[in-house]
Amino acid sequence: MLFDQSTYDGVNILWDNRRIRTPNVTFGEVRYKPGGFVGPRIQRNYQLVILHSGSCQVTVDESQHNLTPGWVSLYTPKHREYFLFSMDAETHHTWCHLNPNFTPPGLKRQLVKAPFSIPCSDAFKHLHAAAFKLRPPIKQNAGNLIDQLGLSLFFEYLIMAQEQSSHSRHDAAVNNAIRHMEEHFGDKDCLQSAQKISGVSQNALIYKFNEELNTTPARYLWKLRTEQGVAMLGETGLSIAEIAYRCGFKNPYHFSRLVKTLQGSSPRKVRRHAWSGKRS
């Protein structure tokens, strides 16, 4: 993006000098002193902006948005933008943009329909941070990697948007419980702690799960544990018993029974199928 003195506050900027670019993709990082601004400008690229600290009020065409630290916002070509950063604190943000000529048509169509801003996932943060591990001069292989990291970042944005849309259809208590189960499925007290984090009583949580997912919290957790165990059968060399214990089962027999119910085969056959590609 090109700027002139009327649209770009170069005085209040603290460059970190971290910019990784190819002809197709650019990753950048910048810090603004209080009162910094960018714009008005016409966006030429597909751009993601991640706010790390401080604050920013951005106007896109006639719509005004307040950016949230830890969230990422999306900008598409041909829209008029104006960024006004915090008046009393330094603002730190990073960004990635794709050249429209490099952006696949299918990705363009999806980005037009994507939400303006969503919270960053761990995968998004790792992909974004990986680009800054590279240092100039950027040679061909590194350039190809940067291009793919840029594309991956935008596809992860779409995945985050889809997950957020799915979660938004559920009750907050159900969302909180599910998120806790996904992160702590191997803990012995996972079900009890998920119920506490949900913020509602045990009976209320059971009712909400039945209403929204047609199951109970306990059944949801055992299914989640079994699915995680099945994945570990194919992806690790851990024993069946060790996988069972790591996934929260008290014994491998219970694990084996649920695997057979879910997959129609024993854990041993599931592993053999995953490793050899042969049908069990």
Q: What is the average per-residue pLDDT within 128-133?
A: 87
| Residue 168's pLDDT band (cuts 50, 70, 90) | low
Q: Where are the domains of the chain?
A: 13-168, 172-276
Nearest to 228 by CA among 252, 259, 251: 259
Distance of CA 45 to the CA centre of its chain: 21
Task: List 85's β-bridge partners, or say none.
Answer: 56
- Which residue has better confidence, 167 or 184? 184
Average pLDDT over residues 162-182: 80
Rounded Cα gap, residues 279 and 272, in angstroms: 9
Whether 9 shows a pLDDT value over 90: the answer reads no
pLDDT higher than threshold 90 for residue 1: no
- Cβ-proximal residues to 213 (8 Å cutoff; 6+ apart), any chain: 170, 174, 220
pLDDT tens for 98-108 read 999 999 999 99
Strands 117-119 and 71-75: antiparallel
Cα 267 from Cα 253, distance rounded (Å)? 10
CATH topology of domain 13-168: Jelly Rolls (2.60.120)
Residue 125 to residue 108: CA distance in whole angstroms: 22
Give the model's confidence band at 239: pLDDT under 50 very low, under 70 low, under 90 confident, else very high: very high
CATH code of the domain occupying 172-276: 1.10.10.60
**pTM for this prediction:** 0.62
C-alpha span between 121 and 123 (Å, rounded)? 5
- Better-scored residue on pLDDT, 162 or 136: 162
Q: Residue 138 — pLDDT band, cuts 50, 70, 90?
A: confident
Q: Find the mean pLDDT for residues 114-119.
A: 92
CA-CA distances (angstroms) from residue 259 to 107, 123, 229? 37, 28, 8
Specify the amino acid at residue 176.
Answer: N
* Cα dist from 5 to 40, 79, 106, whole Å: 11, 20, 36
Q: Decide if pLDDT at 158 tops 80.
A: yes
Compute the average pLDDT of residues 121-143. 84
pLDDT the model gives residue 18: 67
Question: Residue 175 and residue 163: Cα distance in Å, rounded?
Answer: 11
| pLDDT at residue 280, as a whole number | 43
pLDDT of 167 reads: 60
Q: Is the pLDDT of residue 140 over 70?
A: yes
Give exposure, 146-181, as e/b (b: 16+ Cβ within 10 Å).
Answer: bbebbbbbbebbbebbeeeeeeeebbebbbbbbebb
Name the strands in the sheet holding 80-85, side by side, starting at the edge strand that comes first in the sequence: 37-42, 80-85, 56-60, 63-67
What tens digit of pLDDT does each residue of 218-237 get? Answer: 999 999 999 999 999 999 99
Residue type, 134: L
Distance in Å from the first CA to the final CA of the chain: 56
* Mean per-residue pLDDT of the chain: 88
Res. 49: pLDDT tops 90:
yes
pLDDT classification of 2: cutoffs 50, 70, 90: very low
Mean pLDDT of the 243-265 span: 95
